[in-house]
Amino acid sequence: MRKRLLPLLFLFLSPLSLWAWGVDGHRAIGKIAERHLNHRAQEQVKRLLGTETLTLVSTWPDEIRFYPEFKDTAPWHYVNTASGLAQSQYLQDLKAQTTPNAYNVLLAKLRELTDASKTPAERAMALKFVVHIVGDVHQPLHAGHAEDKGGNDIKIKYRGKDTNLHSLWDSGLIDYQGLSYTEMALQYDKTLRRRDVKVMQSTAPDQWLWESYSACEKIYQEVPNGTDVDYRYYPAHADLMRQRIVEAGIRLAGLLNDVLG
């Protein structure tokens, strides 16, 4: 029993930098996606997940990654590349990477999700990873620089406490709002028009990562190592944070409507 409890203890003591968008961010993305599923996709999701929902399973890949049987999934949550790449260079580098990362694992899990030879349990697990990874790739620092581990090595102070740039974007900005994931989902989603949804769903996963990479290039420039991030940071970046969470939820729904609906 004691050995089994150790991974759980490590989970609760681990730094926020391990949790892209945090629990509330990922669940807001799942909640937004649920609101935009078509009827057929809703049925298929329910068949695969049973009593669980996209909202609840959105954090599952973070929750299990500390168990020995899932230790190899850690690199599935991000794609790190060199700094200063143009779009063509970035996309070439992204598609050339052969070690597991968020991009190639997302494509693999989408194939598993639609593979009729897979068991329902295998397809359900694939769905859980799809839900989570779509959220991860919309967090700018999950497409960060290899040389600083996606901003984890950029040490900063935020609200008087030592942290790092990656953690600030994983959970710091979301926590600052003081909203629950249901409140986030409702507020972020309520102003969307059908045209907005169609535009968001018109791009592919490689473009989502390019968007994140482009955003993080600016984020890096604003906050060099050792910066004391003050009260002006949240209002200056809140719109980008909201945009990426909404886009993740809408695009997740679009993917699932395509492959399940």
Q: Which domains does the chain have, with CATH numbers?
A: 18-260 (1.10.575.10)
- Residue 20, pLDDT score: 79
Per-residue model confidence (pLDDT) at position 19: 64
- Stretches where the chain sits below pLDDT 70 are 1-19
Closest Cα partner for 131 from 258, 255, 257, 261? Answer: 255
